[in-house]
Protein backbone atom coordinates (compact mmCIF):
# COMPACT_ATOMS: atom_id res chain seq x y z
CA UNK A 1 0.00 0.00 0.00
CA UNK A 2 1.35 3.45 -0.76
CA UNK A 3 0.60 4.91 2.67
CA UNK A 4 0.87 2.01 5.12
CA UNK A 5 2.09 -1.54 5.52
CA UNK A 6 0.61 -4.78 6.80
CA UNK A 7 2.83 -7.57 8.08
CA UNK A 8 1.88 -11.00 9.29
CA UNK A 9 4.84 -12.28 11.28
CA UNK A 10 5.67 -14.87 13.89
CA UNK A 11 7.79 -13.20 16.53
CA UNK A 12 9.01 -16.11 18.61
CA UNK A 13 11.12 -14.52 21.35
CA UNK A 14 11.54 -11.25 19.41
CA UNK A 15 10.37 -8.00 20.97
CA UNK A 16 7.67 -6.45 18.76
CA UNK A 17 8.67 -2.83 19.37
CA UNK A 18 12.30 -3.58 18.51
CA UNK A 19 11.28 -5.52 15.39
CA UNK A 20 9.03 -2.69 14.16
CA UNK A 21 11.73 -0.12 14.92
CA UNK A 22 14.32 -2.07 12.91
CA UNK A 23 11.92 -2.50 9.97
CA UNK A 24 11.10 1.20 9.92
CA UNK A 25 14.78 2.17 10.20
CA UNK A 26 15.86 -0.12 7.35
CA UNK A 27 13.07 1.05 5.06
CA UNK A 28 13.69 4.70 5.92
CA UNK A 29 17.40 4.31 5.09
CA UNK A 30 16.58 2.63 1.77
CA UNK A 31 13.99 5.24 0.77
CA UNK A 32 16.26 8.13 1.74
CA UNK A 33 19.16 6.61 -0.18
CA UNK A 34 17.05 6.15 -3.33
CA UNK A 35 15.37 9.55 -3.10
CA UNK A 36 18.31 11.57 -1.88
CA UNK A 37 16.19 12.64 1.06
CA UNK A 38 16.77 12.51 4.76
CA UNK A 39 14.72 12.18 7.89
CA UNK A 40 11.78 10.14 9.08
CA UNK A 41 9.16 8.70 6.73
CA UNK A 42 7.13 6.76 9.33
CA UNK A 43 4.97 7.91 12.20
CA UNK A 44 6.25 6.83 15.60
CA UNK A 45 3.11 4.82 16.37
CA UNK A 46 1.97 1.48 15.02
CA UNK A 47 -0.99 -0.82 15.53
CA UNK A 48 -0.64 -4.47 16.37
CA UNK A 49 -3.05 -7.35 16.70
CA UNK A 50 -2.17 -10.66 18.34
CA UNK A 51 -3.58 -13.76 16.69
CA UNK A 52 -4.91 -16.56 18.86
CA UNK A 53 -5.16 -19.53 16.50
CA UNK A 54 -4.65 -20.69 12.92
CA UNK A 55 -8.21 -19.73 11.90
CA UNK A 56 -7.53 -16.11 12.89
CA UNK A 57 -4.33 -16.21 10.85
CA UNK A 58 -6.10 -17.26 7.66
CA UNK A 59 -8.74 -14.52 8.05
CA UNK A 60 -6.10 -11.85 8.67
CA UNK A 61 -3.87 -13.10 5.85
CA UNK A 62 -6.77 -12.88 3.40
CA UNK A 63 -7.60 -9.39 4.65
CA UNK A 64 -4.00 -8.31 4.06
CA UNK A 65 -3.65 -9.70 0.53
CA UNK A 66 -7.01 -8.22 -0.55
CA UNK A 67 -6.19 -4.76 0.80
CA UNK A 68 -4.82 -3.45 -2.55
CA UNK A 69 -7.96 -4.80 -4.29
CA UNK A 70 -10.26 -3.01 -1.82
CA UNK A 71 -8.22 0.17 -2.31
CA UNK A 72 -8.74 -0.05 -6.09
CA UNK A 73 -5.05 -0.40 -6.87
CA UNK A 74 -5.36 -3.76 -8.64
CA UNK A 75 -8.07 -6.14 -9.84
CA UNK A 76 -6.56 -9.25 -8.20
CA UNK A 77 -4.17 -9.70 -5.26
CA UNK A 78 -1.52 -11.34 -7.46
CA UNK A 79 -1.41 -8.19 -9.61
CA UNK A 80 -0.05 -6.14 -6.69
CA UNK A 81 3.75 -6.07 -7.09
CA UNK A 82 4.52 -6.15 -3.36
CA UNK A 83 2.40 -9.07 -2.23
CA UNK A 84 3.84 -12.33 -1.05
CA UNK A 85 1.62 -15.00 0.45
CA UNK A 86 2.89 -18.26 -0.95
CA UNK A 87 1.62 -20.21 2.05
CA UNK A 88 -2.07 -19.27 1.61
Is the pLDDT confidence value at 83 over 80?
no
Residue range(s) defining the domain that contains residue 20: 1-45
**30 & 54 share domain:** no
Using CA of residue 50, residue 54, residue 56, residue 60, what is the dihedral sign? positive
Q: Which residue has the higher pLDDT, 55 or 4?
A: 4
What's the rounded Cα separation, in Å, for the pair 85 and 71?
18
Which pLDDT tens digit goes with each residue over 23-82?
999 999 999 999 999 988 888 889 998 887 777 888 888 888 899 999 999 999 889 887
**26 & 55 share domain:** no
**56 & 75 share domain:** yes
**36 & 58 share domain:** no
**41 & 57 share domain:** no
**54 & 40 share domain:** no
**40 & 53 share domain:** no
What's the rounded Cα separation, in Å, for the pair 37 and 50?
34
CB 48 within 8 A of CB 42: no
Q: Is the pTM of this model over 0.75?
A: no
**16 & 33 share domain:** yes
Amino acid sequence: MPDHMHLLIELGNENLALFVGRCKAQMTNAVNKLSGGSGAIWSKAYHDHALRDDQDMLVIARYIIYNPVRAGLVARPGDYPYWNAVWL
